[in-house]
Amino acid sequence: MKKLFIALLTLLPMAAFAAGNAVHLDEANYDLRDKASLQNGAKIFMNYCSTCHSTQYQRYSRVADDLGIDRDVMSENLVFTGVKVGSLMLTAMPAESGAKWFGATPPDLTLEARLRGADWVYTYLRSFYIDETRPFGVNNLVFPSVGMPHVLEELQGTARLLEIKHNEEELDLPEGARIVKETAVVDANGVATGEILTSYLSPDGNGELSAEEFDEAMLDLVNFLVYSAEPNQLERQEMGFWVIGFLLILLVFTWFLNREYWRDIH
């Protein structure tokens, strides 16, 4: 027990270090009841993600039915592999080709939102920046040294990771910039100078969407991925309310029955 306690104390500084260097995750306020958002998310996924990534536990027909998309419309506009609408949503890219081009096989994304969380996915999609040292010329703040290109560059444009040192009251960032980290500046003696070093992503504005529009589009994509991870989530939650209601009613009858059993004893 003593050795375990010492080991935990040893790990605490490491955990603090990791937390201190972690990128802040922006909240993804998705809404699974928003069919328009889900439909747009499915459109973005099929047009920009499905070339490399599959959602192998989903079927085109199930997605069409759940999202209120006509199956013929789904087949004609969102099925690019030539398969039937009842087929699983598999990528046409062979796994060995993906491993050769990207250094690793692109993962299946069906359960990605459950694995990493909606906030992680939302922040990741919006955190690519120019890095000429990387094979595809981009890097990612949430997933450093990521092996994929910025496939959404057409929509977002490119962004640069910049830093600015300023006083707390003096911060003037370009339009569309997003702060990703703020650090207090200290002198050689470790004393705070009162200045702040702010790291931010600055878009160049050459994408099809504005910064606000791109954020909204990524929220739609996250919404679709959250749905894909658990298509029956809304039904499960609704059923949960009915089950709790039934148990509450059952509790009342159980209480009266228990009182009846013990009436003669008391």
Q: Enumerate the known binding-site residues for heme c.
A: 49, 52-53
Q: Tokens for 129?
A: 């920046």
Whether the CB-CB separation of 28 and 219 falls below 8 Å is answered with: yes
Which tokens belong to 8?
């935990």
Give the DSSP H/E element, type plus range, for residue 183.
strand 178-186
3-state secondary structure (DSSP) of residue 118: helix
Query: Which DSSP symbol is given to 25?
Result: P
Which residues line the annotated binding site?
Answer: 49, 52-53
Reported as half-sphere exposure (CB side, CA atoms, 13 A), residue 191 has a value of 2
Backbone torsion region of residue 32, taken as left when φ is above 0, otherwise alpha when ψ lies between -120 and 50, otherwise beta: alpha
Neighbours of 6 (CB within 10 A): 10
Cβ atoms of 58 and 231 closer than 8 Å: yes
Look up residue 9 and give its amino acid.
L
Nearest to 199 by CA among 179, 218, 217: 179
Q: Specify the residue for token string 């996250």.
A: 222
- Measured from the Cβ of residue 85, the count of other Cβ atoms closer than 10 Å reads 18
- The torsion defined by the Cα of 97, 103, 108 and 112, in degrees rounded to 10, comes to -160
Backbone angles phi, psi at 196, to 5 degrees: -125, 135
